[in-house]
Amino acid sequence: MAKTKAPAKRGRKPAAKKPVESAVPAAVAKATKAVEKAVAAQTKQKERVVAAETKAAQARKKASAPKATAATKRAVATATAAVKTQKEKLSELTQKVAEAKKDLKVAELKARIEATASKAEEVVKTYAKTLADKAEADLEKALTKFASQWRSKREKQDARKVKSRTTAEGKKVATATKKVESAIKAIEAKPAAKRGRPAKASAAKASTAPKKRGRPAKAAATKVAAAPKKRGRPAKATTAKAETAAPKKRGRPAKATTAKAAEKKAPAKKAPAKKAPAKKAAAKPAAKAAAAPKKRGRPPKAAAAKAAVKPAVKKEAPKAAPKKRGRPPKAAKPAAPKAAPAAPSADKPAEKKDASDS
C-alpha cells in the first residue's frame, strides 16, 4: 500500500526565536575556552609523564636484577629519555595554560571596561531623557507664566487704547450732535412751507403809488436857498487877540536888543535939555515895541543899527531903513488897530527930529 501524505499544518507560523544575548562577552568566552583546552592538554601530558616515570622505574628495577642484560640497560636509558621528553612537553603546556589564563584575565578586564562604558552610556541616556522630560515640563510652566503675564500686559495696553479711542469717538459724537442740534434749531425757527401757489399781492400794496423810474428829484428848496459855497481857502477867524495884536509878520524875527546895546545907543541919542519931551515920546514907542509879538523871518543886520547911530553923532541925514526879507505882512482888517512900530523904526523918527533941529 502506498503511504498517504500527512495533512499540511495550517495557521500562523511560530515567531523566530531571538538570539539570547549571553552575559559573558565573546572575548572572555574565547579566552575561557583557550584556558580550558590548555588545561586539558596539560592534564593529559601529566598522565603521560606519570606513565613514562612508571615505565622508567620498572626498567631500572629489571636492570638492577642479577640477570640483567644489555637490552635491559638500554631500556632504562630509553625510559629515562622518554620521561624527560614528556616532562618538557608538560612544561610547555603549563606555559600555555599560564598564557591562556593571562589572556582570560585581560579579556575580563577589557570586558569590564566595555561594561563600564556601556553602563555609563546608559546612565547618560537616562539622564538625557530625564533632562528632556524636565525641560518639557519647565517649558510648559514658563509658557503658562509668560502667557499669563503677556495677556495681562496686553490687556492693559488694549484698555488704554480703548479708552483713548472712546474719548476720540465721544468727541466726534459731541461735534456731530452739536451740528445736528444747530440744524434742528434752524429748521424749527423757520415756518413750515405752505403747499400750493402763493397768494396774490394784497390790495394795500396795489393802492400804493407805482415806483418811479429814472434819477430821483434834486434836494429841497431850503438847500437851494442857502448861500452858495465859496471856493478857495476860508477866511481866518478874527479873535480878540487878532483885533488887539499886530498882524503876524513872516520871515526871520529881529534880533533882541540887549542891555549893553541899549547903553551903547543911549550916548548917541543925547540931545539938549529942551528935547526932553522928545525922549519921552521915543520911550513910549520902545515900550510898545517890547510888548509887540515876536517877528518871524531874518532880523535886520546889526550894521544897520550902527549906521542909524552914526548919523546922529555926525548930525547927517539918516539913511533909509533896510529892506525886510520874506513875505510882506497881510493887510490888517479895518476893525483891528494899528500895531506899534518896532524899536528900530521908533529910533529913526527921533533921529530925524534931531537932524531937523540941528
Phi–psi pair at 257, nearest 5 degrees:
-90, 115
Buried b (16+ CB within 10 A) or exposed e, 249-284: bebeebeebeeeeeeebeebbeeeeebeebeeebee
Per-residue model confidence as pLDDT tens digits over 80-95: 899 899 899 989 999 9
Distance of alpha carbon 92 from alpha carbon 86, whole angstroms: 10
Distance of alpha carbon 30 from alpha carbon 113, whole angstroms: 17
Task: Give me the architecture of the 26-141 domain, per CATH.
Answer: Orthogonal Bundle (1.10)
Closest by CA position to 267, among listed 300, 310, 326, 330 = 310
Tell me which amino acid residue 27 is.
A
Tens digit of pLDDT at every position of the chain (358 positions):
456 666 666 666 666 665 555 567 888 888 899 999 999 998 998 999 999 999 889 888 888 888 778 888 888 889 889 989 989 998 999 999 999 999 999 999 989 998 899 999 999 999 999 999 999 999 999 999 999 999 999 999 999 999 999 999 999 999 999 999 999 998 888 887 777 776 666 544 545 566 677 787 775 544 444 566 677 787 776 554 444 556 667 777 777 655 555 555 544 444 444 544 444 444 454 445 455 566 677 776 765 445 444 544 445 555 667 777 788 778 766 555 555 555 444 444 444 444 444 4
Q: Are 342 and 308 in contact (CB under 8 A)?
A: no
Per-residue model confidence as pLDDT tens digits over 127-165: 999 999 999 999 999 999 999 999 999 999 999 999 999
| Half-sphere exposure of residue 168: CA atoms within 13 angstroms, side-chain side | 6
Q: Are 251 and 327 in contact (CB under 8 A)?
A: yes
The rounded Cα 352 to chain-centroid distance in angstroms is 99
Q: Are 75 and 58 in contact (CB under 8 A)?
A: no
* DSSP helix/strand/coil, 221: helix
CB atoms within 10 A of CB 194: 8
DSSP class of residue 23 equals S
* DSSP helix/strand/coil, 358: coil
Domain boundaries, the chain: 26-141
